[in-house]
């Protein structure tokens, strides 16, 4: 059983399809009800059990209740994919604090909240695997991407610390570090970019890398997997 955040489109939807093909039942979480239900219907038609929960991870007060509702349906995930996230472009000196807090909530704090919600279940089961989707921006500095870089750097550090704390419970934590991926993120009102999206990774290739992490045997762990477009960083 796999739980995926940001599952309605992009990398999340591609990962859901590929995990379903590997035999996983799915717990899918996203803020867009129509897209989420369309994907769920597609996967159910192939014989998979799929449970969904509409939840906006930008609202910290809604996360605990939303996850409790999803996990309360008698399905316990062994794999948790924290894929949901957002981006913001603009100079740090001019960034409104509410936009900073919104971005940190989505890219970092919501991951912390999801992990807190699922850890008791994973511990009871004797282990599990958490995969956090990060970016090469965690390791690099890009002008006007400072808030995004900071959020992803913090996510990478959080993932390493969580791995150390939960190893004794049999819980593994991996990070998938991605270069630019051609997803709806680039169409967001908070992102302004002239990058050539044709040169980016596809969501399907990113999902393949994520699934390869998920399929590692419990006796080993790939702590971080980095996948970049052949053209390098944009």
Residue 232: is its pLDDT beyond 80? no
Tell me which fold the domain 2-227 belongs to.
Answer: Rossmann fold (3.40.50)
In degrees, rounded to 5, the angle at the alpha carbon of residue 8 between the alpha carbons of residues 4 and 10 is: 90
The residue from 10, 148, 178, 214 that is catalytic is: 148
Task: Map out the domains of the chain as residue ranges.
Answer: 2-227
**pTM tops 0.85, yes or no:** yes
Residue 177: is its pLDDT beyond 70? yes
In this prediction, residue 234 carries a pLDDT of: 60
Confidence of residue 233 (pLDDT cuts 50, 70, 90): low
Q: Any catalytic annotation for residue 88? A: no
Quick: pLDDT tens for 70-113: 999 888 999 999 999 999 999 999 999 999 999 999 999 999 99
Quick: pLDDT tens for 198-227: 888 999 999 999 999 999 999 999 999 999
């Amino acid at each position: 059983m796999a739980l995926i955040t940001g599952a309605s489109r992009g990398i999340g939807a591609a990962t859901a399809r590929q995990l379903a093909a590997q035999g996983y039942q799915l717990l899918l979480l996203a803020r867009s009800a129509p897209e989420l239900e369309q994907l769920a219907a597609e996967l159910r038609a192939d014989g998979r059990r799929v449970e969904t929960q509409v939840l906006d991870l930008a609202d910290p007060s809604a996360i605990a209740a939303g996850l409790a509702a999803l996990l309360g349906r008698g399905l316990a995930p062994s794999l948790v994919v924290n894929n949901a996230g957002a981006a913001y472009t603009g100079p740090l000196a001019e960034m409104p604090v509410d936009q900073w807090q919104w971005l940190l909530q989505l890219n970092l704090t919501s991951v912390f909240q999801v992990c807190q919600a699922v850890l008791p279940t994973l511990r009871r089961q004797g282990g599990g695997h958490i995969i956090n989707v990060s970016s090469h921006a965690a390791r690099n500095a890009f002008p006007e991407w400072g808030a995004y870089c900071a959020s992803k750097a913090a996510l990478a550090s959080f993932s390493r610390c969580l791995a150390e704390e939960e190893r004794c419970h049999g819980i593994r934590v991996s990070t998938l570090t991605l270069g630019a991926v051609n997803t709806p993120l680039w169409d967001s009102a908070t992102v302004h970019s002239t990058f050539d999206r044709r040169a980016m990774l596809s969501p399907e290739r990113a999902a393949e890398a994520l699934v390869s992490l998920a399929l590692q045997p419990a006796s080993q762990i790939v702590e971080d997997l980095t996948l970049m477009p052949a053209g390098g960083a944009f």
